[in-house]
A and B are shown apart, each in its own frame.
Chain A
Amino acid sequence: MKPEMYAIRFEDVSKAFGDVQALDAITFDAPAGAVTVLLGPNGAGKTTTVRLTTGAVVPNHGGIQVLGLNPLHDGDEIRSRVGVVPPKPAFYDQLTGWENLQFAATIFESDEASARSAAERFGIDHALGQEVGGYSTGMRTRLALARAVIHDPEVLMLDEPTAGLDPESAKAVLDLIREMAGRGRTIMMCTHLLHEAEGIADQVVLMDEGVVRAHGSPASLARQYMPDPIVILDAEDRDALEAVAQLDGVMATRWDGALHVTIDTEDRVPDIVVELVKRGVRLTRVDPISPTLEDLYFEMQRAHRETHA
């Protein structure tokens, strides 16, 4: 990838806190203007990756580039062009929402109009006069989102942004991500919720135990880990579906609520349907599927376990 095509680049980056190896030689690129999702269980190293990106944490080894700058030497510049929504947004609880935003606006050299606009955008403007100590989790997250975009950052990093949120607030977060990505901003989001990453991720970085297990676009990962298409079949008489295994192009079958049929190419689907109908099978479901991130995630985990078994 050419330098101008990525906003964030990690090359062989390691970070330890005392005896704990938080990250171990991770390498990945976050393309500019795209949504990169750091996906992994708790303790995978996602938060440390965000903190390294802004230069708030210093790596023990490896190189990081953000917007063409090195966080070690140009941290202040990077931090002025990046917005961060931490996993547990904290504020000065004795101050009102507006006072907290004013403080952020001053620090990020933005103005009050931008602060007001950001608050309106996330539907927290009605509560700006209240002290933040009385805010609910959802209100705090909305305020944190407003605070993070107050300076219209080129890169927005969201660390578990929907944790503990009601569905409406969670949707607001995902809408923000889509909206900012649509305006050419680079987004890096950490989550362990697969469904959250689904549909918004242009790039997935699968992390576990401080290492990057895989990274790439969902399509390329699908090609890599789940190269063969799957069609889900069901019928009034399920026993009749046992014949599917003998049909041309069928590579494997398994029952998971319905019959999941792995085939060599999606072009086989009409042939399979015609053949089953000829045999008198009354099909109730024919569903060619693209692998979801969840499918990919578990497939990659399974592949990793098998490799290390």
Chain B
Amino acid sequence: MRWRMVRAVVFADLYRLLKTRDYWIPLIILGGVFFIVLPAILLGSMSLVREGGLATQIGDIVGTLPDAIQQNIQGEAPGTRASYAFAVYLLAPIAIVVPLTISSAVGANSIVGERERGTGEFLAHSPLTLNEIYFGKLLASLLPGYAAGIVGFGLYSIVVNVIVGSQIGGWFFPTLGWMVLVLWVVPPFITIALALILRLSARVRSAASAHQASSLVTLPVILLSYGVASGLLFSPVLSAAISGLVAWVFAAMLLAGGAKSIKRERLLGVAAEA
């Protein structure tokens, strides 16, 4: 496989995406809502509640968490402790949901889109190998989601530190668990979803069908990753590393056979099943 060719496919797709405002503006709004707006409203509201019955109720929520976690929660006031718990433990799944949603949206259209536009004919007659096309499409779908995840993670860190950090005496985010989650666990889960979505995108007849079908893939992966993400932040880093490793192995297995789903006849739209 020639990485120069893969890079060319990735660059063409990403540049095209960048020039399609209708595509990325909703994705930015999605990321903004999940990484900034919702956390800011939620954490800000909780921080404002410092006294009275409501504060006690929020404190009770923290009290339901496992002892090991409660010991790690910083802050004195119930509202501050609740904000810390929400910021560090309960909002973790957004680190996976947002990038996965964005990558799925891009990936679902990646191969069937070539066929619908007619550009699949150029790729089919080109000297690009099927592996080069496949990995180019995979990376071009993965990068926007993952980049959104990293940027969103950075913005989320600022929101958390500004709102909650000021109450506990300094910036505390990201924690080690979040770092492992974002850098080690999220990428394989996005890759797993994309490996499945690209197979669908290569087979279905239209982009609309691809989006419908991709939701069938995305939902279970989101649920799985939601559980893993939540669990990892409760557990030591070692279990996070192991979960990530298992996910990577599974992703690698899917990727190994992934290129077989792309056939030149499918790019042309003349395959028997297409």
- Given the complex of chains A and B, what is the CA–CA distance between A88 and B117 in angstroms? 10
Per the 8 Å Cβ criterion, residues 88-126 of B in contact with A are 117-119, 121-122, 124-126
A76 touches B129 (CB 8 A): yes
Closest to B132 in A: A107
A95 touches B265 (CB 8 A): no
Task: Provide the residues of chain B in CB contact with A86, threshold 8 Å.
Answer: 118, 121-122, 125
Also in contact, A57 and B268, with CB within 8 A (given A92-B119, A99-B15, A106-B8): yes
Task: Provide the residues of chain A in CB contact with B129, threshold 8 Å.
Answer: 76
CB-CB contacts of B121-160 with A at 8 A, as 1s and 0s? 1101111110000000000000000000000000000000
Say how far A86's CB is from chain B's closest CB, in angstroms.
5
Also in contact, A79 and B119, with CB within 8 A (given A56-B268, A106-B5): no
A57 touches B12 (CB 8 A): no
B127 touches A108 (CB 8 A): yes
A257 in contact (CB, < 8 A): no
Per the 8 Å Cβ criterion, residues 60-87 of A in contact with B are 75-77, 79-80, 82, 84, 86
Say how far B234's CB is from chain A's closest CB, in angstroms.
44
- Given the complex of chains A and B, what is the CA–CA distance between A147 and B126 in angstroms? 11
Task: Provide the residues of chain B in CB contact with A84, threshold 8 Å.
Answer: 121, 125
A51 in contact (CB, < 8 A): yes
Tally B residues with Cβ within 8 Å of A.
25
CB-CB contacts of A89-109 with B at 8 A, as 1s and 0s? 111111100010001101111
Further 16 A-B residue pairs, CB within 8 A, beyond A56-B125, A86-B118: A17-B272, A51-B125, A54-B124, A57-B264, A57-B268, A58-B265, A75-B264, A82-B125, A86-B125, A90-B119, A91-B119, A95-B12, A95-B16, A107-B5, A108-B126, A108-B127
- Given the complex of chains A and B, what is the CA–CA distance between A106 and B3 in angstroms? 12
Also in contact, A94 and B121, with CB within 8 A (given A17-B272, A56-B268, A107-B8): no
Per the 8 Å Cβ criterion, residues 61-87 of B in contact with A are none
Task: Provide the residues of chain A in CB contact with B124, threshold 8 Å.
Answer: 51, 54, 56
B125 touches A94 (CB 8 A): no
A103 touches B270 (CB 8 A): no
Tally A residues with Cβ within 8 Å of B.
32
> Top 8 A-B pairs ranked by shortest CB distance?
A90-B118, A80-B127, A56-B124, A106-B8, A56-B264, A84-B125, A79-B127, A94-B19
- Given the complex of chains A and B, what is the CA–CA distance between A176 and B214 in angstroms? 45
A94 touches B16 (CB 8 A): yes
- Given the complex of chains A and B, what is the CA–CA distance between A82 and B124 in angstroms? 12
Can you give 27 contacting A-B residue pairs, CB < 8 Å?
A51-B125, A54-B125, A55-B264, A56-B121, A56-B264, A56-B267, A57-B264, A58-B265, A75-B264, A79-B125, A80-B127, A84-B125, A89-B118, A90-B117, A90-B118, A90-B122, A91-B122, A92-B12, A92-B117, A92-B119, A94-B19, A95-B15, A99-B12, A106-B5, A107-B5, A107-B128, A109-B127
Also in contact, A103 and B268, with CB within 8 A (given A56-B124, A79-B127, A90-B119): no
- Given the complex of chains A and B, what is the CA–CA distance between A108 and B268 in angstroms? 19
- Given the complex of chains A and B, what is the CA–CA distance between A76 and B124 in angstroms? 10
Task: Provide the residues of chain A in CB contact with B121, threshold 8 Å.
Answer: 56, 84, 86, 90
A280 in contact (CB, < 8 A): no
Closest to A18 in B: B272
A95 touches B264 (CB 8 A): no
A103 touches B12 (CB 8 A): yes
Task: Provide the residues of chain B in CB contact with A95, threshold 8 Å.
Answer: 12, 15-16, 19
CB-CB contacts of B1-30 with A at 8 A, as 1s and 0s? 000110010001001100110000000000
- Given the complex of chains A and B, what is the CA–CA distance between A84 and B119 in angstroms? 13
CB-CB contacts of A130-171 with B at 8 A, as 1s and 0s? 000000000000000001000000000000000000000000
A57 touches B122 (CB 8 A): no
A56 touches B265 (CB 8 A): yes
Task: Provide the residues of chain B in CB contact with A51, threshold 8 Å.
Answer: 124-125, 268, 270
Task: Provide the residues of chain B in CB contact with A147, threshold 8 Å.
Answer: 122
- Given the complex of chains A and B, what is the CA–CA distance between A86 and B115 in angstroms? 13
- Given the complex of chains A and B, what is the CA–CA distance between A56 and B12 in angstroms? 22
- Given the complex of chains A and B, what is the CA–CA distance between A80 and B41 in angstroms? 56
CB-CB contacts of A20-62 with B at 8 A, as 1s and 0s? 0000000000000000000000000000000100111110000
A107 touches B118 (CB 8 A): no
Contact of B8 among A18, A89, A91, A103 (CB under 8 A): A103
Task: Provide the residues of chain B in CB contact with A18, threshold 8 Å.
Answer: 272
Closest to B4 in A: A106
Task: Provide the residues of chain B in CB contact with A92, threshold 8 Å.
Answer: 12, 16, 117, 119
- Given the complex of chains A and B, what is the CA–CA distance between A38 and B126 in angstroms? 22
